[in-house]
Structure formats: structure tokens, C-alpha cells
A = this chain, B = another copy of it.
Amino acid sequence: MDKTELNELLRAVAAGSVSPEAAAARLKTAPFEELGYAKVDHHRALRQGAQEVIFGEGKTTEQIAGILTAMLDKGDRGILVTRLQAEKAAALMERFELDYHPEARIAVAAPERDKRLVGSVVVACGGTSDIPVCEEAAVTAETLGSRVHRLYDVGVSGLHRLLSKVNVLSTARAVVAVAGMEGALPSVIGGLVDCPVIAVPTSVGYGASFGGVAALLAMLNSCASGVSVVNIDNGFGAGYLASMINKTEGYDQ
């Protein structure tokens, strides 16, 4: 509820068309629906530009179904359910129209399959093991309406692989750079492009990689400008942010 809406509500009270008690109630309860175990936020699309996303981990199939039902009833489409195990996805598919992306562990309910994809998000990584996190980012960005280019296996210890893709990189409006181990990929890509680079450390590696901490620290210390970092393995967050940047409209002159 932004300032305009607030003023309108208050004016309605002043005009007598809304009672004070009703206004107070609306100020407090409008934006969400109480399910007991969750409060579904129906105003989020207005406030934040995208409807609520369901984090599937730690929720039962029943809980997810309840939230989906509430959202579909309000008319939501293309609803993302992240970190969803295959068994839960299978159970949900029997009750909802649902696309499931197993490598990304993402389901899309009431998918908008003909949605036009715009702009260009590049999702890149250095090794085969990073692909699931890449896919989480890529499917998220695609579901939110962005065109995605995947550049996999372009690690920094074999620079020629990455350099051969410079033309793809040069079209990007946002890059998601995924890397485990030494986490150097975002720095190298950051020096090659002129758009934001979102670095995603992965928990891939062993020993002193400490579950992705080595890559995380490397990325936070990147010497390239335009690089920022999200949590370890947070492909969804990177894809969401990359799509948000990609879909930015021109500023008013």
C-alpha cells in the first residue's frame, strides 16, 4: 500500500464512505491471507513487481498445495516452487497443472508456456557439477520472462573456452556467474562485460573449499567492478535478480 493508496483510503474515511474501523482493519489485514502455517501475500506483485515464490524445502506437500490453491484462486499464473523434490512434484502434478524441471528442482504451476522472453541473461559456470545451480537460475529467469543463454564448462583454467564465447557475453544485459572451488569466474567475466555480474558460489569442491566458503570469499573480494554476490548455491536468487535487471526499462530522460 503506497502513499497514494493511503491518501485515498483516508479521504474515503473523511468523506464518510469508509468507516474508521473498516479503514483500520483494511490497513492491517488486506495484503495477505492466513492459512495458519503461512500467510499468503496477495499484494506482493503490486509492491515488488513479482508474485510470491514458494520455497519448497521444509514444507509438506499438503502445505504447498494449500498455498498454490490460494494463489491460483486469486488468478496467479507461472507460480515458481523452488527446492522441490521429485516425489513432491509428482504428487502435486496429480492435482495441479505443473511443469517440473528436475535438474533445477523447480516446478512452475499454471505455466505460461507462450510467454514472450525478452532481453538477454547469460548463465555461465566452470564445471559439470555446477550445472544444477545454473539451471535453477536459468529456469527462474525464463519463468520470469527473460531470454537466457547458457555457457557451461567455461572454467578459468582453460581460458580459450571462455574467450570463444565473448560474443555471447557481449549481448548480455545481466550475467549469472556460477562457480565452486576457487570462484574466479565472476572476476574474469566481470572484466569482459559492461553489465552487472551476479556471482553464485557453489558448495561443489572438497577439503578447503568448506562447502562453498572459499568461492564465496573469492567472489566478495573480486577485483572486477559490477560484481555482487548471493548466498552459496542460491541459483534462484541470482536468476530472480538477473531477470529483474534484464527487464529494467529505460529511465526517464
Given A206-B233, A246-B251: A28 and B164 interface contact (C-beta under 8 Å): yes
Contact partner, A237, options B10, B31, B225, B246, Cβ 8 Å: B225
Find chain B residues with CB under 8 A from A247 CB. 251
Which residues of A (171-223) have their CB < 8 Å from a CB of B? 173, 180-184, 187-188, 190-196, 198, 201, 203-223
Which residue on chain B has the smallest CB distance to residue A248?
B248
Find chain B residues with CB under 8 A from A49 CB. 194-195
The smallest beta-carbon distance between A161 and chain B, in angstroms, is 5
Which residue on chain B has the smallest CB distance to residue A25?
B164
Which residue on chain B has the smallest CB distance to residue A197?
B241
Find chain B residues with CB under 8 A from A95 CB. none
A209 near B191: Cβ-Cβ < 8 Å: no
A21 to B211, CA, bound (A): 44
A48 to B223, CA, bound (A): 14
A223 to B55, CA, bound (A): 10
- Indicate whether A230 reaches chain B with its CB closer than 8 angstroms: yes
A204 to B207, CA, bound (A): 11
Contact partner, A7, options B21, B50, B217, Cβ 8 Å: B21
Contact partner, A24, options B10, B131, B232, Cβ 8 Å: B10
Contact partner, A192, options B129, B159, B188, B245, Cβ 8 Å: B159
Which residues of A (118-153) have their CB < 8 Å from a CB of B? 118-120, 126-129, 131, 152-153
Q: Interface readout for A46-57 with B: 1 if CB under 8 Å, 0 if not?
A: 011110010001
B230 near A220: Cβ-Cβ < 8 Å: yes
Find chain B residues with CB under 8 A from A184 CB. 156, 182-184, 187-188, 218
Q: Could you jot down 14 A-B contacts, CB within 8 Å? A: A6-B24, A7-B24, A10-B24, A32-B160, A39-B153, A44-B158, A47-B191, A48-B225, A127-B223, A157-B190, A215-B218, A226-B240, A228-B229, A248-B248
Known A-B contacts: A28-B164, A39-B158, A157-B187. Give 19 more (CB < 8 A). A3-B170, A7-B24, A10-B13, A10-B20, A31-B160, A48-B225, A157-B190, A157-B223, A159-B192, A182-B217, A184-B218, A195-B244, A196-B241, A203-B207, A207-B231, A208-B217, A208-B220, A210-B217, A250-B250
> Which are the 9 A-B pairs with shortest beta-carbon distances?
A207-B232, A184-B184, A49-B194, A157-B191, A214-B217, A250-B250, A157-B224, A228-B228, A10-B20
